[in-house]
Amino acid sequence: MRKKDAARGKEGSSPHCAAGVISGALTELAAMGQAGGAPTNGNGSHGGLGMGHTVSHRRGVVAVAAMVVALLVWPVTSEAQLGDLTGTITGTTGTITGTTSTITGTLLGTTTVLGGTGTLVAGTSDALSASSLTGSVGSLVAGEVLRAVTIGYPDQIDSEASLAALALNVAGTNIGADFVMSRALAVVDGASGVSNIDGLTINGIPIPVTGDPNQTIGIAGGVLIINEQQVGSDGTMVVNALHAVVSGIADVVVASAQAGLSGGSAQALQASY
């Protein structure tokens, strides 16, 4: 896989893969620049489900800029080397912006998704995206500059999710991070994934991130999984940058990206509680 990734790096990122996302990110940068350091949302308690429209200028710009850079350097195999991911191109999809959805009836009662793209069918040449400057689920979790995107071609799927200023409080454990991102890439000969996490802390204590898949840290009543990577029976890759589980209380996934035969999708936040 490293040899293939090196070859992809030499070929450079596919312009049509990143164009839509880069355009959206630059639009956000311009809007934030015009805001000129507008004050942040003063609701420190993050009470209630919300996706607001104010954000710290400096931190928001840094987060969106980091996403643009990541997409520009994302290794992509040239289409000449790939076959058809599904054999046919199926359906068309649109673009979703700033989605928030709630599903009831889970074991923990409610599951809420912030910044979710929905699923892009494998083999579809299209893109789905979702974004918001702020998002929160009650007092459980909050973040800024939520963004998710999945881009499909007949022969590959790229998915990415990210957010900044993570604040997660579950069962007395406070988990924070300056920036969290996950990426998943699927082509006909396999799938790969990676997570980027900056400034991770638990109860104010810095936590070193090894970069290894499925790094596990014990927390009160549960576990925090860093760079969680799961491969389905059909080879579909799911990457969760952070996954906090406290049995019977909450299950929170931060920055989740999926790519493979099961389709492409991305979510900035998912919380079951």
Report pLDDT digits (tens) over 84-123.
Answer: 443 322 333 333 333 334 333 345 689 999 999 999 999 9
- Residue 50: which pLDDT band, with cuts at 50, 70 and 90? very low
**Domain range spanning residue 11?**
2-272
In eight-state DSSP terms, residue 264 is B
Count: domains in the chain: 1
The pLDDT, as a whole number, for residue 17 is 42
Residues 6 or more apart whose CB falls under 8 angstroms from that of 236 comprise 186, 191, 258, 259, 260, 261, 262, 263
What's the token pair of residue 164?
């900044």
Q: Whose CA is closest to 130, among 273, 265, 13? A: 265
pTM of the predicted protein model: 0.65
Tens-place pLDDT, residues 203-249: 999 999 999 999 999 999 999 999 999 999 999 999 999 999 999 99
Q: Which residues of 31-45 are buried (b: 16+ CB within 10 A; e: fewer)?
A: ebeebeeeebbeeee
